[in-house]
Chain A
Amino acid sequence: MQLILESLFNGVAIGSVLLIAALGLAIVFGLMGVINLAHGELMMLGAYSTYVTQLIFKLPALKPFYNAYVIVAIAVAFVVSGIVGILLERSIIRRLYGDPLETLLATWGVSLILQQFVRSVPLAYGTGLVVALLIGMLLPIGLPKKLYEKFSGRIIRLACWAISALLGVLTSNSLSTAISKLGRASARNVDVTAPSWMRGGFDLWNITFPITRLVIIVITLIAVLGVTWFLKKSVWGIRIRAVTQNRSMSDCLGISTETVDVLTFGIGSGLAGVAGVAVSLLGSVGPNVGGSYIVGCFMVVVLGGVGNLLGTIIASFAIGIMTDLIGAGRLLTIWPDMPTPLASAVDFFATTSMARVMVFALIVIFLQFRPAGLFPQKGRMVEV
């Protein structure tokens, strides 16, 4: 009993990291069909956002609220990655819709640029840039209508960008003086320290559940529920599903497909940022952190069946539980009298990295027989 529980918990913990990482990709790749190789780097930006938020919360003014920084970091990471995603969509991906090979190459290039960006630009400047972008995008929407009657649109836009640039520079300057760590560019990995309430474990039935893992499971759960609600029930969810299933007809019905594209991509990218928060709680954060997750993300989405959110969820937990079963050598504990050659094989794969090899091999074999994944789109609707 204890064994099953422990195994299940570990599997779910591994699975929820995979799931939160793949959730954004399930939207961007699964629904929109965009192969975004920079998805991992959007996660990396989310992880760095967590780091910056944490440092800001160490400042004397915010010190009393330090324990709550993770919650703030989730919102910050969502916004940061979302904005970078929107910028990416508007500048590059929009021009390459329906051209998967070129999208793949272009987004790979973007991923390299983003990696180098965090290496050679001090984080304070990066923060300033994001602040400037955010204000520059939001200011024209928030202005009162009367202003538009007095001045021409071009002057207002120019003024908005000038103000946002100024605020961005101010932010980066004050950040780099207040926190000297953020003022220097560094290629070294940084560490996000969890607040005290997240350290340690939680004992139940003689098993210790690490609280960080529990927090990640909760974040994943909230993200999945939020995304499901958004796609199923909200007005924008209906629009997104309509556009992803039949773009030109949606356009003819009066839906602005461009707006839907921007929003969908922004949300997918924002979710990558949230995944970045989870990743930063698990280990140190470096420019290459996204690369180690991107393959797993694509695997999960393909295994689940492209375009199927439920498939993504089941696939990530299946992979999580399998990884734990193989990686922790639990098969031997379950069946101790295993014949020796089999036992040594099991033992050989009982490390984290070898378990990954084994799981990926199994996925590849599975996809040979069911290329469309666990839940392929089927029936009469496929032909429609």
Chain B
Amino acid sequence: MNLLETKGLNTYYGESHILRDIDLSVHHGEMVCLIGRNGVGKTTFLKALIGLLEARSGEILLEGKSLQREAPHLRARAGIGYVPQGREIIPYLTVEENLLLGLEALPGGLTQHKRIDSFIYELFPILQKFLPRKGGDLSGGQQQQLAIARTLLGQPKLLLLDEPTEGIQPNIVQDIEAAVKRIIAEKGIGVLLVEQHLHFVRQANRYYAMQRGGIVATGKTTDLSQSVIDQFLSV
């Protein structure tokens, strides 16, 4: 069974049709990259998956369980971890409290889980140093690491990453890439990545290319030809 499967997903902003009949799948232990130029609906698609936007028609199945009618917090508890564009760190909460919030996706939430798994500090050592700081005081790169760590603490089956390297200095980009690859290898989760950064795109197993709200091409990233790159990546 596929980890994630969407069938004929359609969403609208008001009356304008954004996503058109999206069929996409992610397997366990696989990294899938969604590419396409700005404004084609990549972020919208991730929002529809986590439930911030309601799909007007179509199906979202996580391990065969239908999720398209559930609220975001129930989808998070079902196993979708969402790292949004712009990180969305809770600014006036400390780094530690932000991490604790990640535990809310586990059964029983914070009431029953209070321990931050040290696995997170192995992936992103900088976070341990900053535990008592306010989340809003961190730099963009640090916030990105915090956002990924926070989501991982909820032990998601599927990780949605929306442009995790946007506006971040190169050495942190490398750390993030390494961390994502390591999580996939160790935990066997699936990752759906929206990315512009070619090096990161190449780490994925498969890609889907989007244009005007629909999937127009798909295949293995090893087969990603220069013409496809020129057509779908804005770099």
Contact = CB atoms under 8 A, between A and B. Distances in A.
B204 interface: no
B110 A252 contact: no
Contact of B137 (A246, A254, A381): A381
B167 to A, nearest CB: 14
B90 A241 contact: yes
A242 interface: yes
B136 interface: yes
B111 interface: yes
List 3 A-B pairs, minimum CB-CB distance, nearest first.
Answer: A381-B136, A254-B105, A381-B91
Determine the interface band of chain A, counting residues with CB < 8 A from chain B: 20 to 34
24 contacts: A235-B110, A235-B111, A238-B100, A239-B101, A239-B110, A241-B97, A242-B93, A246-B88, A249-B84, A250-B90, A251-B71, A252-B50, A252-B72, A252-B82, A253-B101, A253-B104, A253-B105, A254-B77, A254-B105, A254-B154, A257-B73, A381-B91, A381-B136, A384-B91
B60 interface: no
Interface in B73-127: 73, 76-77, 82, 84, 88-93, 97, 100-102, 104-106, 109-111
B110 A248 contact: no
Given A253-B105, A380-B136, A248 B52 contact: yes
Interface of A: 235, 238-239, 241-242, 245-246, 248-257, 379-381, 384
Nearest to B96: A238
B42 interface: no
B197 interface: no
Given A238-B97, A381-B136, A254 B73 contact: yes
B136 A252 contact: no
Interface of B: 50-52, 71-73, 76-77, 82, 84, 88-93, 97, 100-102, 104-106, 109-111, 134, 136-137, 150-151, 154
A253 B102 CA distance: 6
A242 B71 CA distance: 17
A214 to B, nearest CB: 35
Contact of A255 (B89, B104, B134): B104
Contacts of B77: 254
Contacts of B102: 253
B94 to A, nearest CB: 10
Contacts of A255: 73, 101, 104, 109
A256 B73 contact: yes
A380 B97 CA distance: 19
A238 B110 contact: yes
Tell which of B82, B88, B106, B111 has the most Cβ of chain A within 10 Å. B88
Tell which of A241, A254, A380, A384 has the most Cβ of chain B within 10 Å. A254
Nearest to A307: B92
A162 B5 CA distance: 46
Given A251-B71, A255-B104, A245 B92 contact: yes
A150 to B, nearest CB: 25
B88 A249 contact: yes
Given A246-B88, A253-B154, A380-B136, A238 B93 contact: yes
Contacts of B93: 238, 241-242, 245
A242 B52 contact: no
A319 to B, nearest CB: 25
Nearest to B77: A254
A249 B102 CA distance: 11
Given A245-B92, A250-B90, A251-B71, A384 B97 contact: no
A255 B72 CA distance: 9
A254 B88 CA distance: 14
Given A241-B90, A246-B90, A384 B136 contact: yes
